[in-house]
Amino acid sequence: SQTIHQWPATLVQPVGSPLSLECTVEGTSNPNLYWYRQAAGRGLQLLFYSVGIGQISSEVPQNLSASRPQDRQFILSSKKLLLSDSGFYLCAWSVLGQPREQYFGPGTRLTVT
């Protein structure tokens, strides 16, 4: 069966510090991968998605970047965090070529102070 992992689970970082969040998927090959941010207002905002190694599409201009160094690894980064980067970050995957159903990881709670 497929599983998706995210770490860390929680993170408190000062403004201006760098960020690296990691997501890995097991039990599937060539997945589509997604990064979402969920603010306190509950809506999920798509940040990035990837259909393959090194292929990243950005949905909104922002202070964050994403990379996919391996087939089942997706990384969310920032060089300098802003207060507005606080939120709950969710990684998701779907089957390549049949992307209708997305499956979410447990999330990372980021607080920028």
Partner 1 sequence: GQQLNQSPQSMFIQEGEDVSMNCTSSSIFNTWLWYKQEPGEGPVLLIALYKAGELTSNGRLTAQFGITRKDSFLNISASIPSDVGIYFCAGQANNQGGKLIFGQGTELSVKP
Residue 16 C-beta: closest distance to partner 1, Å: 27
Which one of the spans 11-19, 61-69, 71-79, 101-109 is the region binding partner 1 (CB under 8 A)?
101-109
Answer for which of 78, 94, 110, 112 binds partner 1 (CB under 8 A) is 94
Please, what is the minimum distance in Å from the beta carbon of residue 1 to partner 1?
14
Note whether 93 binds partner 1 by CB under 8 A: no
User: Between residues 11 and 44, which has the closer beta carbon with respect to partner 1?
Assistant: 44
The binding track of 53-92 with respect to partner 1, each residue x by CB under 8 A or -, is ------x------------------------------x-x
Q: DSSP state, 27?
A: S
Annotate 17-43 with b (16+ C-beta within 10 A) or e (fewer): eebebebbbeebeebbbbbbbeeeeee
29 lines the binding site for partner 1 (CB under 8 A): no
Looking at this protein, which amino acid is placed at residue 78?
A: S
Query: Residues 81, 48, 25, CA angle at the centre, nearest 5°?
Result: 100
Helix, strand, coil distribution of the chain in percent, nearest 5: 5, 60, 35
Contact 81, 15 (CB under 8 A): yes
Q: Which residue ranges make up the site for partner 1 (CB under 8 A)?
A: 32, 41-44, 46, 49, 59, 90, 92, 94, 99-107, 109
